Amino acid sequence: MKASTMGETVANRGGQALHRGCSNFRDNRYNHNSYLEEADMSS
């Protein structure tokens, strides 16, 4: 019983970390692209 509960907790933590990492990567890529576009327009 404890083993399965611990496994579920680890799986949930891993899923949350993965989701958070993917959203951060997407946000960073979007910010990077918009920054490049602004630099091109100003030059």
Q: According to the model, what pLDDT value does residue 8 have? A: 73
Nearest to 24, CA basis, from 13, 35, 16: 16
Q: According to the model, what pLDDT value does residue 19 have? A: 61
Which region, left, alpha or beta, applies to residue 28 given φ > 0 means left and ψ of -120 to 50 means alpha? alpha
Flag residues of the chain having pLDDT under 50: none
- Distance between CA atoms of residues 37 and 43, nearest Å: 10
For the chain, domain boundaries: 1-43
Q: Count how many Cα atoms sit within 13 Å of the Cα of residue 26 in the half-sphere of its side chain.
A: 6
- Distance between CA atoms of residues 42 and 4, nearest Å: 57
